[in-house]
Amino acid sequence: MMLTAKEINTYNKLADNGFVQKITCPFDESDTIITKIDSKDDPFFHCLWCNSSFTPSKNIEILIKKHIYNN
C-alpha cells in the first residue's frame, strides 16, 4: 500500500472543508464512507451504508497525493 492513513486523513480534512471532493463508495457515491486500518496498518475504506470495504484504488491514491502535496 502506497498511501498512509495520515495522508488519507489529511485529504479527508480538505474534503470536510470543501476544498476537494469526498471519497465516495464505488457502489453508490451518496454513501458515507469511513477510513479504517487493517492489521498491517494499511488504510482501507468502509461504507457504512452498504457495508462494503475497499482498498484505495490507484486513481484515489494519485488524487490524494496530488492534492495534499501540490497545495
* Residue among 19 and 49 whose Cβ is closer to Zn ion: 49
Is 48 a binding residue for Zn ion by CB under 5 A? The answer is no
Instruction: Report the residue number, 19 or 27, with the smaller CB distance to Zn ion.
Output: 27
Q: Which of 8, 25, 60, 64 binds Zn ion (CB under 5 A)?
A: 25
The answer to the question of residue 31 lying near Zn ion (CB under 5 A) is yes
Q: Which residue has the cell 471519497?
A: 23
DSSP strands (E only) in 1-71: 33-37, 43-47, 53-54
User: What is the CB-side half-sphere exposure of residue 30 using CA atoms within 13 A?
Assistant: 0
C-alpha to C-alpha distance for 34 and 64, rounded to whole angstroms: 15
Site for Zn ion, rule CB under 5 A: 25, 27-28, 31, 47, 49-50
